[in-house]
Structure 1
Amino acid sequence: MTSNKRFLISIPISKGTYKECIKSIVELGTKKVSSYVCVANVHMLVEAHQDTDFANVVKNADIITPDGMPLAKAIKSLYGIKQERIAGMDLLPDLLKKAEQDNLGVYFYGGTTEMLDNTKSYLSINYPALRISGVYSPPFRSLSAKEEAEVAKKINDAAPSIVFVVLGCPKQEKWMSAMKGKIDAVMIGVGGALPVLVGMQKRAPGWMQKNSLEWLFRLCQEPNRLFKRYFVTNTIFLILYYRALLNKFLNKSYYNS
């Protein structure tokens, strides 16, 4: 799954099933391959469209999953490929379960001290045999090169196989890109999936997930923070999507390549 991708508007998306994705991530972690996984949604796609440097960060990821249902549906309509949605909120608990089963160490980088404390409590109850290599809440500012090197050493000394990065998009993707080749583990940006997992936020009901309305549920939870982001990015995405759909009919060979 690490090399099998299809280009969608501004970023490539890894093809494959949910189970194949889990297997690929676990293999990277087991082998301690310095690598990273981007869990892509509409926000990430639009950020990449507007920022070439960020687009390159995403393109260089080893795995790019279609987290948002709109991305999975867009792949279907543009390529005729039935692609499963591979959401971070599903990947996180399943990767933790697999790590527990295979005795793989996990590390949590990012988030507040309160969130990480809640995470440790939650994991001790729900994943009692999970090997937690460490947690770290970095300061809310850019780190110096020296500090970044110290962080990489701190994580490598803890020897995790999987590093869950909780900085939010696009910060977490840029951090993982900068750390590739420095941290000997697979890194995956889980963003808002962690507070949902540990009970600090709620997830949308299944019918909203299936109908591409999970964004609306989150908007109702955090309207002040997410109003502009969702309405602006969703509008831009629709424009880009319909433009790509038009290009499909004008230049079918591009999407059949």
Structure 2
Amino acid sequence: MKRIDICGVPVSSTNLTNACQAVDSWIQQKKKSYVCVAPVSTVVDCQRDQDYRKVVLGADMVTPDGMPLVWLAKLSGDKFIQRTYGPDFMQAFCDYGRQKGRRHFLYGGEEKTCQQLINVLKQKFPDIEIVGYYSPPYRPAHFQEEQKVIDQINRSQADVLWVGLGSPKQDFWMVEHRDRLDVPVIVGVGAAFDFIAGIKPQAPKWMQKSGLEWFFRLCSEPKRLWKRYLIGNTLFICYLVKDFFRKRFFVKS
């Protein structure tokens, strides 16, 4: 799969259909893979945390979760890429995978969120196979607790594990645990659990398409998200300018 370099982050040139096909092919091959869903904040965090950068660079697919990444890819000449938004991606594969009997496990979110999410997914996709879920505690888990959950996931024979812990936490979790998991594909989908379950409101489609979802979320959760969007978006612009001059004057063609 083609990648587009955005400030050193290799964003996959993909769309919902292509991403679903890629995940399904890894399941068929039993190829252990993990997918990072990348909004602007992921690109910013990769500039400031080299350990996180390595996690994202090692992903089998880095989907363009934010519209600015799609616009930048298109400016570079990529006509194929489309926004592959976490909640849309999760639901698209639930629909795609049910035709092939793919089995899903949910990891993350509160207990009530997981239960509501399962209800919503079963209403939308009546024959979907959800083989288990786990709502982790907010405190750090002991090794024995983690192993018990890993055993539960492995016994479920899930084909795909959806991790909803938020970035970068979910991305570190996927890399830390993937060798102990028998699940072919692990996908970190951020706040998708809350959005699909209806726990948190999603921005209107016109705001999503216009790249204004960040403003909607900031207004919805200002105390939690002001740093991510007000400071993070400013840093993103600075990193873009720096990356432009690096490529323009210091990288030979």
- 2 CA distance for matches of 1:16 and 1:133? 28
Match of 2:53 in 1: 55
Q: What secondary structure is seen at the aligned counterpart in 2 of 1:169?
A: coil
Contact 1:39 1:66 in 2 (8 A): yes
Match of 1:99 in 2: 97
Contact 2:16 2:92 in 1 (8 A): no
- 1 CA distance for matches of 2:236 and 2:225? 16
Tell me whether 1:248 sits opposite 2:247 in the alignment.
yes
Taking structure 1 as the reference length, the TM-score comes to 0.91
Q: Give the Å deviation of 1:6.
A: 2.8
- 1 CA distance for matches of 2:170 and 2:138? 12
Taking structure 2 as the reference length, the TM-score comes to 0.93
Q: Give the Å deviation of 1:221.
A: 1.1
Q: Give the Å deviation of 1:170.
A: 0.8
Equivalent residue pairs, number: 251
Name the aligned partner's letter for residue 81 of structure 1.
D
- 2 CA distance for matches of 1:39 and 1:200? 20
- 2 CA distance for matches of 1:33 and 1:184? 10
Name the aligned partner's letter for residue 152 of structure 1.
I
- 1 CA distance for matches of 2:50 and 2:71? 24
Q: Give the Å deviation of 1:76.
A: 2.8
Q: What secondary structure is seen at the aligned counterpart in 2 of 1:109?
A: strand
Match of 1:142 in 2: 140
Name the aligned partner's letter for residue 47 of structure 2.
H
- 1 CA distance for matches of 2:95 and 2:190? 19
Contact 1:33 1:184 in 2 (8 A): no
Q: Give the Å deviation of 1:32.
A: 3.4
Q: Deviation per CA, 1:173-218, whole angstroms, max 9, x where unpaired? A: 0000112222222011111122111211222122211221111111
Identity, in percent, stands at 35
Q: Which runs of 5+ in 1 are unaligned?
A: none
- 2 CA distance for matches of 1:40 and 1:119? 22
- 2 CA distance for matches of 1:204 and 1:117? 23
Q: Deviation per CA, 1:206-235, whole angstroms, max 9, x where unpaired? A: 221122111111111111111122111100
Q: What secondary structure is seen at the aligned counterpart in 1 of 2:133?
A: strand
Q: Which runs of 5+ in 2 are unaligned?
A: none
Q: Give the Å deviation of 1:131.
A: 0.7
**In the superposition, relative to structure 1, how do residues 221 and 137 fare at CA in structure 2: closer, same or farther (>3 Å)?**
same
Contact 1:40 1:68 in 2 (8 A): yes
Match of 1:223 in 2: 222
Match of 2:237 in 1: 238
Name the aligned partner's letter for residue 193 of structure 2.
L
